[in-house]
Amino acid sequence: MSRSKNHVPGEVGIWIFILGDMVIFGLFFLVYVYYRGLDIELYRQSQLQLNQHYGALNTLLLLASSWFVVMGVEKARQGLGQKAAPFFASALACGLGFSAVKVVEYGEKLAADITITSNDFFMYYYIFTGLHFLHVVIGMGVLTFMILKTRAKHFQSNDMIMVESGASFWHLVDLLWIVLFPLLYLMP
Amino acid sequence: MDCSLLKHPATLIWALLMLATALSWGLGADSASSGNGVMGLTALLMAIAFIKVRFVIQYFMEVRHAPLALRLVCDGWAVLVCGAILVLVWMSPAA
Amino acid sequence: MNIRSQLLCAWCGVVFLVLFTIGWVLLARFLPPPSPSLGAEEVAAIYQQNTGAIRFGLMLAMIAGGLTAPWVAVIANQMRRIEGNSPVLTYTMLVAGAVGVVILVLPTMTWTVAAFRPERAPELILLLNDFGWLLFVMTFSPFFVQNMAIGLAIFSDFASEPVFPRWLGYFNIWVAILFVPGGLITFFKTGPFAWDGILAFWLPLVIFFAWFLVMFVVLLQTIRRQANGI
Which of A12, A13, A31 lies nearest to residue C199, judging by beta carbons? A31
Nearest to C67 by CA among C14, C103, C31, C107: C14
- Taking the mean position of all CA atoms in its chain, how far away is CA C189? 23
Residue A93 half-sphere exposure toward CB, CA atoms < 13 A: 9
Could you give the CA distance from residue C200 to residue A137 in angstroms, rounded to a whole number?
Answer: 22
Q: Tens digits of per-residue pLDDT, A14-34? A: 999 999 999 999 999 999 999
Count up the domains in chain B and report the number: 1
- Taking the mean position of all CA atoms in its chain, how far away is CA C225? 27
Q: Tens digits of per-residue pLDDT, A51-92? A: 999 999 999 999 999 999 999 999 998 888 788 999 999 999
Contact (CB, 8 A) for B79 and B51: no
At B95 the pLDDT is 54
> Would you tell me how many other CB atoms lie within 10 Å of the CB of residue C180?
18
> Residue C140 above 60 pLDDT?
yes
At C117 the pLDDT is 96
Looking at every residue in chain A, the average pLDDT score rounds to 91
Q: Residue A15: inside a domain, yes or no? A: no
Could you give the CA distance from residue C93 to residue C142 in angstroms, rounded to a whole number?
Answer: 9
Q: Which residue has the higher pLDDT, B31 or C86?
A: C86
B85 CB within 8 Å of a chain A CB: yes
Name residues 14-73 of chain B within 8 A of A (Cβ): 14, 17-18, 21-22, 24-25, 27-29, 31-32, 37-38, 41-42, 45-46, 48-50, 52-53, 56-57, 59-63, 65-67, 70, 73
Is B in contact with C (3 or more beta carbon pairs below 8 Å)?
Answer: no
Contact (CB, 8 A) for A87 and A68: yes
Backbone angles phi, psi at B4, to 5 degrees: -60, -30
Over residues A182-188, the mean pLDDT reads 90
At B34 the pLDDT is 53
Domain assignments of chain C as residue spans, ordered by start? 3-227
- Domain containing A152 equals 52-186
Count up the domains in chain A and report the number: 1
At B36 the pLDDT is 53
Could you give the CA distance from residue A104 to residue A118 in angstroms, rounded to a whole number?
Answer: 19
> Residue C146 above 90 pLDDT?
yes
Burial (CB count <10 Å: 0-12, 13-18, 19+), residue A1 = exposed
Interfacial residues of C (vs A; Cβ cutoff 8 Å): 165-171, 173-174, 177-178, 180-181, 184, 187-188, 191-193, 198-199, 203
CA-to-CA dists, residue B39 to A182, B81, C144, angstroms: 14, 16, 41
3-state secondary structure of C31: coil
Q: Residue A61: inside a domain, yes or no? A: yes
- Percent of chain C clearing pLDDT 90 (strictly above): 96
CB contact under 8 A, B53 and A175: yes
> Residue B35 above 70 pLDDT?
no
Q: Residue A6: inside a domain, yes or no? A: no
Q: Tens digits of per-residue pLDDT, C182-195? A: 999 999 999 999 99
- Domain containing B68 equals 4-91
